[in-house]
Amino acid sequence: MPSTWSSILEELKEESKRETPGGRASWAKLLLRKIKRVVDQTGRPLILYGSACTTPKRTTGRQLSIDIADKLGFHEMTERIDGPNVDVVVHSPGGSAEAVETIVEALRRKYSSVRYIIPAYAKSAATMMTMSGDQILMDIDAELGPIDPQMLLPNGVSPAEAVKEQFQKASQEILADQRKITVWMPILQPMGPSLLVQCDYAIELSRRLVREWLEKYMFKGDADGPVRAAAVAEYLGTASNFASHGRRVKLDQLQDPARNFRLNLVNLRDEPMLYQAIWEVYCVMDVIFSNTPVYKLFYNSVDDAMVRMEADVIVQQVAAPAVPQMKQLPKI
């Protein structure tokens, strides 16, 4: 029996044979069928938000990240889905905390119950988004990530805490030996006068948003909710806990009794039928990213869609255009 991903690819190939000019894209029809399988089990409408962050593409970096333009995509996906419940499948490397704040507020204004589903990968600001849910459903192999802010500097991106630590180290060494100023000066000059203050603000913002969302939603009504929310925000927001911003935060880490987070987490493997249905949705998304110019995808269970694509196509609806000719994958 072929793997799920290979089976999905074959299904898409068969669907594309029935595609008609001006009709709905074959991948859109396949994705909708798989999404409806999930909805049949949960009884809740579903929104899919994903980017090609784990698929080799020409598009990289900020285009794959959560940005303020995604507000439009979420608006489109929620316009025809009434409350009070919604599930959101997220596959994202993270991005702007400010954009996440805007998206979370829009979702929470309309839905009193929001669940986030993580089949594989939701890092950084995407992890922050999941912490605004009433519940998180994730695979045992799925990855969340640290939420410590990353600062854009002239020579690249650096963790805000590392910037502060480097400055403190420089200060200590220069105070101890004035001759070291010549060594540190080329490193410190590009930092700019406000960088350390910006680092403090960014660190506080990411932790405060997670803390407030947990208190307000997942821990609502819990007497010790504020303490637990602060502990989760502190844990996820402390760079030294992970040594790398790309480090995986696993389900069992968040469920560790010693940490006493008591987050409302569900291991998808405990619900095999739901897990399989969600995994098929994820595989369809990955096949789309692997075989079309699409690099960011919004879809929902009432067949609304919006995509962002590589090359000269920026944003388009998927009601009419057909999927480009699929690549023939090499046999292994």
pLDDT of residue 137: 98
pLDDT of residue 49: 98
Q: What is the pLDDT of residues 36-66, one digit of tens each?
A: 999 999 999 999 999 999 988 666 778 899 9
Q: What are phi and psi of 23, to 5 degrees?
A: -85, 180
Could you read off the pLDDT tens digit of each residue along the chain, which spans 332 residues?
Answer: 689 999 999 988 888 888 877 778 899 999 999 999 999 999 999 999 999 999 886 667 788 999 999 999 999 999 999 989 999 999 999 999 999 999 999 999 999 999 999 999 999 999 999 999 999 999 999 999 999 888 777 677 777 777 777 777 878 878 887 887 888 777 777 676 688 888 888 889 999 999 999 999 999 999 999 999 999 999 999 988 998 888 999 999 999 999 999 999 999 999 999 999 999 999 999 999 998 899 999 999 999 999 998 864 444 444 433 343 333 333 32
pTM of the model: 0.87
pLDDT of residue 145: 95
H helices within the chain, ranges in order?
A: 4-17, 26-42, 70-78, 97-110, 125-130, 160-176, 181-188, 195-213, 225-237, 251-254, 272-291
- Quote the radius of gyration of the chain (alpha carbons, Å): 22
How many other CB atoms are found less than 10 A from the CB of residue 179? 8
